Amino acid sequence: MEYTTLGRTDVSVSRVGLGLWNVSGDVNWDRVEEDDAVETIQAAVDAGITFLDTAEAYGDGYSESVLGAALETLNRDDVVVATKAHQSNLAYDDLKAACEASLDRLGVDTIDVYYLHYPNPDVPVSETARALRELREEGKIRVPAVSNHGVRDLNDVLEEVRVEANQLPYNLLWRAIEYEVKDACVENDVDAVCYSALAQGLLTGRFDSPDDVPAGRARTRHFSSEREHARHGEAGAEAETFAAIEEFEALCEEFDVPMVEAAIAWPLHREGVGSVLVGATSPEQARANAAAAERSLPPEFVERAADITAELKEALGPNPDPWQSESRYR
């Protein structure tokens, strides 16, 4: 496993982290039973993954509680615990209360990395920042951070409080942050922490066509707005998406690189990316994900993979929001 320090801090995180959205059960995923999830978290840590990521919104606190159960079996000093405050909780009093609730579910005294899950334009940034500063001074959080923040929102937050990471959707099939947001992170020494590295399973090679993708996962802007759970009004880019997947699979075969490892490793070879979060529902998956951190991709592979997905990047455009045409990123 490789490690890096987050932003301008001395907080060391594994370059492949464990995302715990998928254990919570929602339209995208089946809920993972607590014992199975705890075993998966333990396996991830045993494989060198120290960056464990959740949110109060995942399963209405279930994901945080599961991580809390796992932490009882681990050495707390060996892991970096990250969670996110819902955008409805960014007012001063609400954020202070949300943090206390997350601390309780996690069973910890301090949250290492505390993200604002999405911006909330109805709450003054100064009010949210005041709560973050106080939580840090009280020792309840170590590192303030943001998630799903565009250039304007990131800059607005940085004017009020230093944040060290911006958690963003980024993978070979979803490269919208390359238009503006990633550059803004680099300019401000804010690490991009990337989620959906496997594009919710599309980059595993398990789906041969758009029709094979479960309805809950076929709601991003890759897919037609006629899909059952779509929240956008676009035609989608299904042909371009699956043509890119087929070409990427062939590229992996040419270089004799496992497709999953290559998909996880590719963002780690891009400027400004500190860590990549990947979900797992079994110890075997956790160990396989961890192996990607040690996968060094040749420069030719990295560039050819980018070329393969360039047409799809252009088709989807600069809106970083994977699910909505009316972007929540500003």
Could you report the average pLDDT of every consecutive run of 10 residues in the chain (330 residues)? Answer: 95 96 76 91 96 96 96 96 98 98 98 97 97 98 98 97 98 97 97 94 90 90 90 92 96 96 95 95 93 92 97 96 93
Place of tokens 């789906």: 207
Q: Report the pLDDT value the prediction gives residue 27, as an integer from 0 to 100.
A: 62
58 labelled catalytic: yes
Q: Report the pLDDT value the prediction gives residue 24, as an integer from 0 to 100.
A: 81
Instruction: Indicate which residue of 3, 58, 115, 179 is catalytic.
Output: 58
The fold adopted by the segment(s) 3-201+259-295 is TIM Barrel (3.20.20)
Q: Distance between CA 160 and CA 130 in Å, rounded?
A: 8
pTM: 0.93
Q: Report the pLDDT value the prediction gives residue 312, as an integer from 0 to 100.
A: 96
